[in-house]
Amino acid sequence: MNRPTPPRLGVHLAGDGVDVAVLAPHATRLDLCLFDDTGSPQSERRVRLDGPRYGLFTAHVPGVGAGQRYGLRADGPWDPVHGQRYNPAKLLVDPYARGLVGTLGYGPATYGHTVDAQLRGDVFGPADPRDSAGQVPHGVVVGAVPGPDPATNRPWTSWSRTVVYEAHVVGLTRLAPFVPPELRGTYAGLAHPRVIEHLLRLGVTAVELLPIHANASEPQLAARGLANYWGYSTLGFFAPHAAYATAAARDAGAAYVLAEVRTMVHALHDAGLEVLLDVVYNHTAEGGPGGQHLSWRGLDNALYYADDGNVPATYADVTGTGNTLDFRRAEVVRLTLDSLRYWADTVGVDGFRFDLAVTLGRGVDGFSPDHPTLVGAATDPSLHGLKLIAEPWDVGPGGWRTGEFGLPFAEWNDRFRDSARSFWLADPARAAHGLPGHRVRELATRLAGSVDLFGAGNPPLVRGPEASVNYVTAHDGFTLADLVAYDHKHNQANGEHNRDGATENKSWNHGVEGPVPADSPAVDIVPLRRRSIRNLFATLVLSAGTPMIVAGDEMGRTQQGNNNAYCQDNEVSWVSWPRGSAWRADLLATATYLLQLRRDHPALRTERFYTGAPLASGLPDLAWYDPTGAVFDHARWHDPALRTFQMVRTAGSARDIVLVVLNGALHPEDVVLADTDGDPWLLVWDSVWEHPDEQREAAIGGALHVAGGAKVTLEALSMRVYVTR
């Protein structure tokens, strides 16, 4: 006996055809539009769906199989003053489509309201009658997907051992000489054995991919001949971005594009690497009220997008993109959770980084960490144990919420970024001009895991320092190499007259803006720039918390001073692999060595916030010392002249003890090493070293083994790491 089942949103194979369910509560009619394999508008066949019932239009359509191209058309009131924008002339993308084919056009026909050739028009004016079927991507019915199941071999890496590597699918391999040309810049290229070898040798454990949901570029970028390279402009929350697949997969169809993504994830899992996705649920590619008419706007503009409650209706934009999905609506929450489950269960990813995550937690009274979206993600069985990372801000009222997301969320820690940059770059730059900088207490707090941000809760201290995703750079901003070479942004190539991107970067060019030629009189600053890179990288990976590295930073990648390369799908953004560059090879060796130190020493990977209380070994888990070797007191923390300090971290009964000494002064500093009444200290790293092999040279000179209480001299702007022998 056939029993009725609740409809699943989207288009799914069922028996002799497909079951269709589309949410469009205020529509009066909804058609499923079927196209032949060429996608020709002339081949369109329309099937009227039943409804709406409980806001849904549904039907079983026989004779439709896997690979079928389709779209939707919704009819209803055209009343933009009150937020309704139904226009049946516009073909709409199914929000639940598992595959998309075709590219988005930018002509007037893609707009729901009437616009001229320059795309200008009255957003509250009449509906545009031109058919858009030939200018928008089509959904594809996806059936069985070939290849292995990546949900079966997850590495399940603990947070304490996690090191995140933020990368772009295209940018990571587009210039990789060891990847076959046909695989460069693709999902398959990212899973190439040589790429995996690099990631494993470096010591990262999770690859966090910039958005791979199907996305589209903004019209203003297309008009300038540019594209939204980063992909933060979603057109489909279930379909992978087909342009990142190999030509062979695209030619074979949407199921093979999805198979390539799944095979990539499975291969990374086999190597012990987790895959995290940067996901953008806070807004869509449709832009502001004057934007294109592509999907959600045509199905139910008033339901999907947050508005300000005024008449005429305008959007409440807390994302800075023109629109904001309305998380006061259960339907938007459901869309988000359905998408997350799909990528977890079907694609097998290991976690998500939520772009502008505060937007996802906004209800009628503003942000709440107990918002249904966040509670749903935290409790959904499909997401159990996966890594959930919040970007804890948006641009709306009260938008900065770092530290306010509960378990199991971790969060990007912008305070770590700012304090590390200030200590090593902005403060020395000010000191060079006789100006004061920040006190060391801010950096010390970040080194110790940012308990001030992440220690709150009920009970307190339950999240642990791993909730702090520490970073010095991200896709948005200067690269690590550019932080030490530019005081100012250089974004002219973006076509926005250098007005875009952050103005305050806490960077320092060390006296000369940009590259320094070998024959320049300023060539002496180049070694100091390299040391500053090493200082920043070491501060990142040796701090308590979860470090995040940006692809290419370990090899000195530059964006030529562009701190907002979102539209640069070219050599500006792509990772350049070192070939014949001695300093970049040295930097890679240093990054690899520092991550090995992190793995080797439990004291550098604490799972609990420090208390300063004695452990079983009798030593405190954390202690601070000034340059004289004296324990810090309250007054010392507030000394504006102090730029040199020591941190001793101890790991439980293992008696693993690590001493980190930092000198942020512009001159060498004598330091009396902390005396823990234990074994002598062994110097394992000095940021003065261009390459870790210099440790062996120091050993020959007998400079590695030092007793506690001995005096050593740290070079200006340098740091050292000692361990017990």
Task: Tell me how far CA of residue 557 lies from CA of 475, 565, 588, in angstroms.
Answer: 12, 13, 11
Please check whether residue 184 is in contact with residue 202, taking contact to mean a CB–CB distance below 8 angstroms: no
What does the alpha-carbon distance between residue 555 and residue 104 come to, in Å, rounded to a whole number? 36
Annotate 649-695 with three-state secondary structure: EEEHHHCEEEEEEEECCCCCEEEECCCCCCCCEEEEEECCCCCCCHH
Q: Is 355 a catalytic residue?
A: yes
Q: DSSP letter at 150? A: G
Task: Please provide the DSSP assignment of 469-535 as one string.
Answer: EE-S--SSS--HHHHTT-SS---GGGTSTT-SS-S------TTSSS---TTSTTTTHHHHHHHHHHH
**Which tokens belong to 449?**
């895991």
Strands 622-625 and 546-550, by their bridges, are: unpaired
Taking the CA atoms of residue 132, residue 133, residue 135 and residue 136 in that order, the dihedral angle to the nearest 10 degrees is 100
Tell me the β-bridge partners of 366: 363
Q: Which candidate in 274, 391, 404, 553 is catalytic?
A: 391
| Tokens (6 digits) for 427 | 């403060």
Q: Is the distance from CB of 533 to CB of 556 less than 8 angstroms?
A: yes
Residue of 380, 379, 305, 285 lying closest to 342 (CA atoms): 380
Q: What is the DSSP letter of 354?
A: E
Phi, psi of 467 (to 5 degrees): -65, -20
What residues contact residue 379 under an 8 Å CB cut-off, 6+ apart? none
Known catalytic residue: 94?
A: no
The residue annotated as part of the active site, out of 208, 307, 355, 442, is 355
Q: Answer left, alpha or beta for residue 618, where phi above 0 means left and psi between -120 and 50 means alpha.
A: left
What is the rounded distance in angstroms from the CA atom of residue 264 to the CA atom of residue 271?
A: 11
As given in the structure block, the two tokens for residue 138 are: 């089509």
Q: Residues with catalytic annotation?
A: 355, 391
